[in-house]
Amino acid sequence: MKSENIINEYEEVIKKIKDIVSAKIVTNENGQIEEIHVLANPNRNPKQLVRDIESTLMATYGSQIDHRKISIAQIDNHYELDKMSRLIFDRLESTVWGTLFEIKVVLKDKNGNEYHGTSKGVRSASNKLRLAACATLNAAEQYIKSPNIFNIEEVMVSDIANHDIVIVGVSKITTLGEEILPGVAVVKEDLNETIVMATLCAVDGVDW
């Protein structure tokens, strides 16, 4: 079992690794490390960053971490997230139905065609984050005419250099297997709209 202070030390050590901007460690109820989420610059291969994290924690603390617990999201500070190559965010609508919350996301392609995605669920704080991402994927799947190939694995908000960052993990499921696609966006005004942008960032450039 690892204390909160040790986990904080782990995060600080990871952030000292070249090209890593931020790190967040998730533990289970017994204090064991379940996930390590890392935000990094796109200068190096994610596999190299994972190896550096493994080596650093082993050399510094003698802790052996399963590489499958480490997820790397890379963001290019010069990349404009609101200028997606195939789909652009048009608008978002939200509706409250008692204890339920519904989000509708509308995306457009370069020809102006609209693609509508909706997602409804319990109106809890964490679920509201996932609903915006799920609605975005629903709209994207309409565009590619291939439903049920994307799934939202996680949506999290992290603080980096006094700025809120949304990190979205999307899994792409095909007959060839599963691929994890990370997406990142900086929160500017509306959190739900930022989640849409981070989700689009994850799937943009993927071979559809």
Flag whether pLDDT at 89 surpasses 50.
Answer: yes
Amino acid found at 188: K
d(CA 101, CA 194): 18
Average pLDDT over residues 186-205: 88
Q: Are 47 and 74 in contact (CB under 8 A)?
A: no
Q: Which residue is it, tokens 């102006």?
A: 112
- Kindly report the backbone phi and psi dihedral angles of residue 154, in degrees, each rounded to the nearest multiple of 5, phi listed first: -165, 145
Q: Per-residue pLDDT averaged across 197-208, rounded?
A: 78
Give the pLDDT band (50/70/90) at residue 79.
very low
pLDDT of 152 above 80: yes
Lowest mean pLDDT segment, chosen from 23-32, 74-83, 95-104, 157-166: 74-83
**pLDDT tens per residue, range 106-123:** 999 888 899 999 999 998
96-100 long-range Cβ contacts below 8 angstroms, 24+ apart = 96/123, 99/123
CB 204 within 8 Å of CB 84 = yes
Of 28, 84, 19, 16, the C-alpha closest to 47 is: 19
Residue in this structure with the two tokens 């139905």, named with its chain if needed:
97
φ/ψ (deg, to 5) at 160: -130, 120
Distance CA 40, CA 3 (A): 25
**Domains of the chain as residue ranges with CATH:** 4-74 (3.30.300.30), 88-203 (3.30.160.270)
Tell me the three state secondary structure of residue 56.
helix
pLDDT tops 80 at residue 78? no
Question: Going edge to edge, which strands form the sheet with 20-27?
Answer: 20-27, 33-40, 70-74
pLDDT of residue 58: 93
pLDDT one-digit tens code per residue, 22-42: 888 999 888 889 999 988 887
DSSP state, residue 146:
-
- CA–CA separation, 140 vs 110, rounded Å? 13
Tokens, residue 124: 């809890």
